[in-house]
Structure 1
Amino acid sequence: MPYWLYILIVIASVYLVISLLLYLLQDYFLFKPEKLSKDFQFYYENQETEEYNIETRDGAIINGLRFKAQKPKGVVFYLKGNSKSIKGWGKFAVDFTRHGYDVIMVDYRGFGKSTGRRTQKAVKRDMQVIYNKIKEKVSEKYIILYGRSLGSGFATKLASMNNPRMLILDAPYYSLSKVAKKYIPFMPLSLLIKFPMPTYKWLKYVNCPIHIIHGTDDRLIPYKTSVKLSRINPKTTTLHTVIGGGHKNLNTFEAYHKMLSEIVNSKPEKVNLEGSSIHVKHSSKPSNAKV
């Protein structure tokens, strides 16, 4: 066997092994779940909660919490990130209950007390089931979808298929395939990745107001990602910038809380452009200049 052919076979074999490992182990890299026992008791200081379990058509159990506000004026369906469980994420519910909104948080399959085999299709279906349950109690015009990091993709998909009051994306990604390609550019991710999560595709079909919040110092999902996403539906999208904010610390910035307050308490209004400068064009030459 020629030496060059031997080398080629070795390289091809290594590439195939890496591809296989990437396909089989990607769940361990993408998801960092925290398991909770069935009898675990949730507790949050100064928060009133109600726990529930919903059984899906394939027999999985989706566990979630409702954080109750006094005299609620709406519901925030909060779709969390890829780590831990709602045991820890629940502390962020106060950012909405303080403004008079109930908050619904759930654990994805394999997180917390939730069970079932985790696939992109299954999780999307689960989130729609939860959304439908919320709709049974509350009109869609009072439902806000909030997606944080990994949850931003699922929230966008839900918004594209329903008619919530608004969609809020916190540190969203363009697609998980794009994020992965940044770290392993030499792999055929379109064939290997189980959770491509093409947020940019789903965003095209969202009809409600869209608010994107992102920190300028986010090293995991760059700020420019949100700039790019904001251009997909520019007429209905507002980009909110947290100067100096990273991927996991936006809640530590006063600017973030100010933005969130303005977003959830705002009422959609059509801007009257009559008499504005929208059609005024700048010219480098005086209007009476001779050519």
Structure 2
Amino acid sequence: MLSLLVTLLLMYLSVCLLLFVAQRKFMYFPTPPLLHFSPPMEATQIIFENEGESLSGWVVNEGHSKALLYYGGNAENIEYNIPFFKENLTDYTVYLIAYRGYGDSTGKPTEVNLYSDALHIFDRVIADHEQVSLLGRSLGSGVATYVATHRQVDKLILVTPFDSTANVAKSVYWMFPVSWLIKDKYESAKRAPNIDARTTIIYAENDNVIPRESTEYLIEAFSHRLEDSILIRSADHNDISEYPDYVTGLKRALD
């Protein structure tokens, strides 16, 4: 019996070690460049350089005084958002920049790297616009709350967001000490009290990626600072932007 317990303990510790060493392979799912992609004529390619890495993306609706920085979800090709923003946010110049290791951007994604890139890009963009708002979706919501804590942001919109990646991971890997193992925590709920931007949270009724409790903890963390929280009925994590109520809510948040 003792031998069996020791064996089980060693197996458990081995899995913990594997999760710790390979955790970023479980967290980030970089999308490869879209081969032969031809963007609409209204989209202009743009490249930012930060810490020796090249960050590639697109600018939509150029020439406006108000700008929107979009931080996408995991495994998302940002190029697919060009028609949506072109059609629905005609009063904003929208920047869609791929994270390190995603699309045509170089480097490797980590929490520290994504934060560094986001601040660098914000500082470059604010120089050309009177005000900058942020839209963070899923993984991007963690990046957006970080920028909103460290820069003067006009409006903040968080779509299918979470309170922290550690709590999301606990819902999947409940049998492991996730809080001790995870490196990239994206602790949005802890930042919420320090965010002054007008904030709106939009979330899906049938989200199959982010547990409802995680989003509700984030809503509670914003407390009176939250301008609006919008539940999109029948939507799931990946199709939320296809619902008319999402478009309506997004436009209202940016008015």
Q: TM-score, normalised by structure 2?
A: 0.92
User: Structure 2 vs 1, CA of residues 255 and 117 (structure 1 numbering), >3 Å: closer, same or farther?
Assistant: closer
Residues paired across the two proteins, number: 254
1:243 paired to 2:238: no
Of 55, 71, 78, which residue of structure 2 is paired with 1:86? Answer: 78
Structure 1: gaps (5+ residues): 266-291
1:226–1:239: 8 Å Cα contact kept in structure 2? no
Choose between structure 1 and 2: higher helix proportion.
2
Question: How far does residue 208 in structure 1 lie from its aligned partner after superposition?
Answer: 1.2
Note the alpha carbon deviations across 1:106-138, whole angstroms, 9 max, x for none.
111111111113221111111100000011111
1:221 aligned residue: 210
1:67 paired to 2:67: no
Query: For 1:194, what is the secondary structure of its paired residue?
Result: coil
Distance in 2 (alpha carbons) for counterparts of 1:193 and 1:226: 19
1:127 paired to 2:118: yes
1:9 paired to 2:6: yes
Question: Counterpart amino acid of 2:153?
Answer: P
1:196 paired to 2:185: yes
2:66–2:92: 8 Å Cα contact kept in structure 1? yes
1:208 aligned residue: 197
2:89–2:251: 8 Å Cα contact kept in structure 1? no
Distance in 1 (alpha carbons) for counterparts of 2:210 and 2:235: 12
Question: Counterpart amino acid of 1:251?
Answer: S
Of 148, 164, 167, which residue of structure 2 is paired with 1:175? Answer: 164
Question: How far does residue 95 in structure 1 lie from its aligned partner after superposition?
Answer: 5.2
1:143 aligned residue: 132
Distance in 2 (alpha carbons) for counterparts of 1:96 and 1:74: 14
Query: For 1:17, what is the secondary structure of its paired residue?
Result: helix
Task: Name which one, 1 or 2, has greater alpha-carbon Rg.
Answer: 1
Structure 2: gaps (5+ residues): none
Query: For 1:211, what is the secondary structure of its paired residue?
Result: strand
Cα RMSD over matched residues? Answer: 1.9
1:77 aligned residue: 69
Note the alpha carbon deviations across 1:130-156, whole angstroms, 9 max, x for none.
0000111113xx211000000000001
The alignment-based identity, stated in percent, is: 26
2:48 aligned residue: 54
1:19 paired to 2:9: no
Question: Counterpart amino acid of 1:119?
Answer: T
1:218–1:247: 8 Å Cα contact kept in structure 2? yes
Question: Counterpart amino acid of 1:257?
Answer: V
Of 30, 33, 37, which residue of structure 2 is paired with 1:33? Answer: 30
2:28–2:109: 8 Å Cα contact kept in structure 1? no
Question: Counterpart amino acid of 2:124?
Answer: K
Question: Counterpart amino acid of 1:234?
Answer: S
Distance in 1 (alpha carbons) for counterparts of 2:200 and 2:30: 27
Note the alpha carbon deviations across 1:160-216, whole angstroms, 9 max, x for none.
111111100001011100011001112121222121111101112101111000122
Question: Counterpart amino acid of 1:72?
Answer: H
After superposing on structure 2, the runs of 4+ consecutive aligned residues of structure 1 that deviate more than 4 Å are none
Question: How far does residue 42 in structure 1 lie from its aligned partner after superposition?
Answer: 4.5
1:161 aligned residue: 150
User: Structure 2 vs 1, CA of residues 222 and 185 (structure 1 numbering), >3 Å: closer, same or farther?
Assistant: closer
2:93 aligned residue: 102
Query: For 1:153, what is the secondary structure of its paired residue?
Result: helix
Query: For 2:221, what is the secondary structure of its paired residue?
Result: coil
Question: How far does residue 20 in structure 1 lie from its aligned partner after superposition?
Answer: 1.9
Distance in 2 (alpha carbons) for counterparts of 1:84 and 1:170: 14
Distance in 2 (alpha carbons) for counterparts of 1:147 and 1:14: 38
1:84–1:112: 8 Å Cα contact kept in structure 2? no
User: Structure 2 vs 1, CA of residues 183 and 32 (structure 1 numbering), >3 Å: closer, same or farther?
Assistant: same
Distance in 2 (alpha carbons) for counterparts of 1:85 and 1:218: 20
Higher relative contact order (CA 8 A, sep 6+): 2
